[in-house]
Structure 1
Amino acid sequence: MPIPDFQSLMLPALKALSDSAEKPVSEIRNHIAKAEGLTPEEMQELLPSGRQPVFVNRVSWALLHLGRAGLSERIRRGVWRLTEEGESLLADAPPRIDMNYLRNYPAYVTWRTSKNTSPSSGDATLIPPDDSADTPEEELDRIVRQLRNELEADVLDRVREAPPAFFEQVVVDLLIAMGYGGGDAERGRVTGRSGDGGIDGTIREDALGLDEVYVQAKKYADSNTVGEGDLRNFAGAIDAAGTTKGVFVTTSGFTSAAKNYVARSPKRIVLIDGKELARLMVVHSLGVRTRIRHEIKRIDEDYFDQEAL
């Protein structure tokens, strides 16, 4: 089943503390997972950033909101317990607890208002909607994904608009940026000219130049996919050059027959389509530059851990 959003986890989190005992977060998570019928695989599902499991993130935010409302309290690092206010609420058996419900508690309203109010204007419009299902990390990941997708689409458009010779240079530059040739631009070169035998570029695989990788670059429209014939010709050119490795890059895509041919071929040929090309260019900062950099910081628990002193 899908992992419940963090607001839907508020009531299960409070119920996990219902015996009023002090409980570590790991025990709270296990209690919730069992109650919600989550599988181990679902509990390990990661945020798009890959830095934290979705379930861990959502439980943490559920506990934070409950704590700010005074329904639970963090008594020390990673350990929570139910408050009298929380015990009273559970006795009323509410069907759901969410951000809108927590507005019944003045401490929660004060926290939500103070943390979202602009110091300069006093405007509280920065408060996220109470029906939001995403935690701040999930919302941030979604925005970053959206911006990255738009950037990758723009990069691919610009590459398609460029002359073929520039595209061939882009491919060689990308492989250098990825570490081929030891990252030395002098170890990669564009060879794409008439009579090139199907080879548009070569690059030394490592800094010592022990092996060469041959490159084919096809600047096609999105609807014009690369077929098996193009791959056969490329494999033949690689064979004639006396090597076994190649990278075939296109701004469009590859037919199923082309992919199947590469899978069966004894040659080691890597296929990079337009979407993957744009993604790699962004990842390796080729043709793009950083405009804004934000640092997301969190509490250093070790610094505030008095028991460790």
Structure 2
Amino acid sequence: MADLPKWHQFMLPLLEVLKERGELSRNDAIESVVQRVGLTEEQMALSQESNGKSVARGRIGWASSYLRTAGALIGPKRGYFALGPNADALFELGRPIKRADLTGFQQWQEHHAAKQAKNKSTPDSTSDINTEDSTPEDLIEAGVKQIKEQLASDLLDQMKEMDPHDFEGLVLDVLAAMGYGGGSRQAMQGVPRGPDGGIDGKINEDKLGLDQIYMQAKRYSENSVSSEKVQAFVGAMTSGGCRKGVFVTTSKFTADAMRFAESIRDPRLVLVDGDKLANLMIQHGVGIQTKEVIKISKIDLDFFGGED
């Protein structure tokens, strides 16, 4: 049986089918790549030992994730693929695409700069793990971490493409999953759209509604939230008699905005940027589903202890 192509060898075929056929659903795109590469039934039958899923499909999935990070592939809507702005530059190479070909794009560099900054602030980072010195458990942990990072990145991409009103509802869903409003989405309400600086949601902090939290959600693709936006939100809070607020965005907050939020004590304000929001969604199971559970066994020493 011929060796199954590595994940990076699926990048060019994936871009080629999208160029020929246009926007495709994820499943249709994968099937088209399988046909284009000419994978045999035997190759498609190869499955991962941990979960029984197709190795080939998994590798095509990783190819799509890397292309998305580099801006060569986009998700125009949920579950669909289309060519991104950097696809033409990869076509111009005139050869199979390698991982190194992706690293020169601004989108890739920004993604990995943010990732490195996050890893530096996380003492137990496993991004640079040495496979020779690592135990199998270390390698599993490193793999899980990489999958989680990619999931957070994919969630953020999806959120940036949402309708602003739908994004406001998503934020309320996350806060409900975290236990605010007694964990009830019904204890939260959106508010009619008003001038910029207003509030996008009201949250009953407890089941009786004795105290409220105001929420504002800004779905930005690139722009950072300025201190002026944050100050306007605080003004809307205080004029409404609210002493607690959450400002959520898919992008980042400027340094001035973060300093302003840290400087006030009453009212209390929490800023949640896109990375933090994506990780909260993963932590509380919003917008995701469990793909598989891997069972790891160890020897039962009591069984071999010879005791009744």
Question: Which letter does structure 2 place at the counterpart of 1:175?
Answer: L
Over the matched positions of the two proteins, sequence identity in percent amounts to 42
Aligned-partner Cα distance in 1 for 2:153–2:124: 25
Q: Residues 1-309 of structure 1 correspond to what in structure 2 (within 5 A)?
A: 132-195=132-195, 198-222=198-222, 224-266=223-265, 267-302=267-302, 304-305=304-305
Per the TM alignment, residue 202 of structure 1 is displaced from its structure 2 partner at its CA by 1.1
CA distance in 2, matches of 1:280, 1:170: 12
Moved over 3 A (4+): 45-48, 299-307
Say which SS state the counterpart of residue 203 (structure 1) adopts: strand
The code of the aligned residue for 2:271 comes to: L
Amino acid at match of 1:221: S
1:297–1:210 distance in 2 versus 1, CA, 3 Å: farther
Task: Tell me which structure has the larger Cα radius of gyration.
Answer: 1
| Aligned-partner residue type, residue 164 of structure 1 | P
- Name the SS of the counterpart of 1:169 in structure 2: helix
Work out the CA distance in 2 between the residues paired with 1:160 and 1:239: 29
Task: Supply the distance in 2 between the matched residues of 1:272 and 1:291 (Cα, whole angstroms).
Answer: 27
Instruction: Confirm or deny: 8 A CA contact 2:197 2:229 kept in the other structure.
Output: no
For 1:274-301, what per-residue CA distance to the aligned partner results, in whole angstroms no more than 9, with x for missing partners? Answer: 0111111111111111111112233344
Say whether the 8 Å CA contact 1:191–1:201 is kept in structure 2.
Answer: yes
Structure 1's 210 and 299: CA in aligned 2 closer, same or farther, altered over 3 A? farther
Task: Give 1:186 deviation, angstroms.
Answer: 0.6
1:194 is displaced (CA, Å) by: 2.5
Instruction: Give me the whole-angstrom Cα distance separating, in 1, the residues matched to 2:191 and 2:165.
Output: 10
Gaps of 5+ in 1: 1-44, 49-128
After TM superposition, give the deviation of residue 265 of structure 1 in Å. Answer: 0.9
Question: Structure 1 residues 194, 227: closer, same or farther in 2, change over 3 A?
Answer: same
Deviations 1:176-214 (A, max 9, x none): 011111111110111151248510011111222221110
TM-score normalized with structure 2 length:
0.55
Cα distance in 2 for residues equivalent to 1:143 and 1:253: 27
Count of aligned pairs: 182
- 2:261 aligned counterpart, secondary structure: helix
* Code of the aligned partner of 1:232: Q
Normalised by the length of structure 1, the TM-score is 0.55
Q: Render the CA deviation track for 1:73-94: whole Å, top value 9, x for unaligned.
A: xxxxxxxxxxxxxxxxxxxxxx
RMSD: 2.3
Runs (5+) with no aligned partner, structure 2:
1-122
Q: What is the CA–CA distance in structure 1 between the aligned matches of 2:182 and 2:163, rounded to whole Å?
A: 28
Counterpart of 2:219, as a letter, is K
Does the aligned pair in 2 maintain the 1:221–1:251 contact within 8 Å? Answer: yes
Assess if the C-alpha contact under 8 Å between 2:189 and 2:203 holds in 1: yes
Distance 2:306 2:214 in 1: 60
